[in-house]
Amino acid sequence: MDLDFSKEEQQFREQARDWLQDNVPEDRRPHHGDAMRDYDKEWQKTQFEAGWAGVSWPVEFGGLGLGLTQQLIWYEEYARAHAPDNHLCFVGLHHAGPTIMACGDEAQKTAHLRGMLTGEEIWCQGFSEPNAGSDLASLKTKAHVEGDELVITGSKMWTSHGHLADKQELLVRTDTDAPKHKGISWVIFDMKTAGVELRPIEIMTAPNLPHFVQCFYDEARVPLCNVVGGLHNGWSVAMSTLGFERGTAQIKDQIRYAFLVEQMIERARKRFGGANLQNDEIGSRLAQLRADMAAARAMTYMVVSRAKAGLKGSESSLMRAMVGDVQQRVRRLAMDIIGPEALENPEDDDWVYFYLRTFSTTIAAGTAQIQRNIIGERVLGLPR
């Protein structure tokens, strides 16, 4: 048990801090559309060119080939420098990329990993369907083999930024006779393929602007060599990266939210007066959140500690469940602190926007309820 960082790790931290200080974009990140896409790609490219884009990615794909501790340090410094998240690169960097690294063949790695890191290749996810959400394995989008191609027909739902993406990690049913977890394949799908149509879906933060798309596939053809990890083996391919590696990236949110709680304390002191806050319900909630944010950060350290020790259990879901809940409570309290201003949603102030946005934290990537099933069954060993 220790909080020590080696001399090399501390040097790495100083280098990261210095570089971020000089290079973090000064303009605010747009929340939508091509402007957001250009912004994310540009910032990703800047990080790549300076060598910071993939701290723990192998050197052969443009990464630094360093360990989880350096990855953690990078994200800590990233958040401290108030660097913006480039959400459009998220699926590539944290999901499709690690999946291809774990299960892809050499050609697939060579074709895609570098582009994810440089920001040239934007990825989206094609997992959920209109009738396959929490019960993901019941997905029905079908694909059959014709020669050296897969022919895909069906529909995918809740694909964030699908209209802005180049590639999609797509789960399709390639064997309809097999048990539901056995007949699925994980496919690299080009969003420009003929036979694909996108229907935009607006979300509660921003009516009139699409966030999700629903994707319709009408006999869309994909080369068979785009199947990752073997035909019908897609479920275990998809599960290979759901978990602990992404623990390090969570530290960014922990630190940002801790900053936010400090801002909220300042704002509440101004509005109510510091002394009045002491016996006030808002003061009590602020203090509890300050403690909870400290704990969320410690939990992230715990996730990284377990990963470094090679313990690849489902325990990281404990941290995820906690953090989803805490983020919602922070944003909810922010609304109470700003009071009547909460009814205004100006373009240049994010407080209300992010309050609305955090409703996704207990839904996306497995609802809070599914998380609790996983915790109950895989961490605690309760029967199904």
Partner 1 sequence: MNLLPSPEQEQIVDTLKAFLSEKAPVSRLREHGALGNPDQALWQELGQLGFLGLGLSEEAGGVGLTSADEALVYREFGRHLISVSLFGTTLGAHIAASSGDQGLLDSLLSGTTTVGVGNLFSDGHLHQEGCSGEFHWFEARDAQFVLLLDESGAALIATEDCADRRKVNATDASLALERATLSNAKPTCWIGAEAAQIHTRALLLTAAYATGMAEATRDMAVEYAKDREQFGKPIGSFQAIKHMCADMAIRTEAAQSQTFFASLVFAENRDDLALQVVSSKIVAVDTALKNAAANIQVHGAYGFTAEADAHHYLKRAHVADQLWGDLRTQRIRLLSLSPTAQ
As annotated, the active-site residues are 245
Q: In a 10 Å sphere around its CB, with 0-12 CB exposed, 13-18 middle and 19+ buried, how is residue 131 labelled?
A: exposed
- Report CA-CA distances (Å) from 348 to 25, 30, 318: 17, 10, 35
- Token pair in block for residue 39: 């912004």
269, amino acid identity: R
Judging by beta carbons within 10 Å of its beta carbon (0-12, 13-18, 19+), is residue 282 exposed, middle or buried? Answer: middle
Report the nearest approach of partner 1 to the CB of residue 272 (Å): 12
DSSP symbols for 66-131: --HHHHHHHHHHHHHTTPPP-GGGHHIIIIIHHHHHHH--HHHHHHHHHHHHHTSS-EEEE--BTT
Q: Smallest distance, Å, CB 133 to partner 1?
A: 16
Residue nearer to partner 1 on the CB measure, 53 or 296: 296
Q: What's the closest the beta carbon of residue 266 comes to partner 1, in angstroms? A: 9
**Least distance between partner 1 and beta carbon 118 (Å):** 30
Min dist CB 343 to partner 1, Å, is 27
Q: Enumerate residues 6+ apart whose C-beta is below 8 A from 214.
A: 130, 155, 156, 157, 158, 159, 198, 199, 201
Residue 2 or 148 with smaller CB distance to partner 1: 2
Shortest distance in whole angstroms from residue 28 CB to partner 1? 24
Rounded to an integer, what distance in angstroms lies between the CA atom of residue 188 and that of residue 195? 16
Q: Provide long-range contacts, Cβ within 8 A and 24+ apart, for 65-69.
A: 66/12, 67/308, 68/248, 68/304, 68/307, 68/308, 69/5, 69/9, 69/304, 69/308
Write out the residues near partner 1 by the rule CB under 8 A: 1-5, 69, 72, 262, 265, 277-279, 283-284, 286-288, 290-292, 294-299, 301-302, 304-306, 308-309, 315, 318-319, 321-322, 369, 371-373, 375-377, 379-384
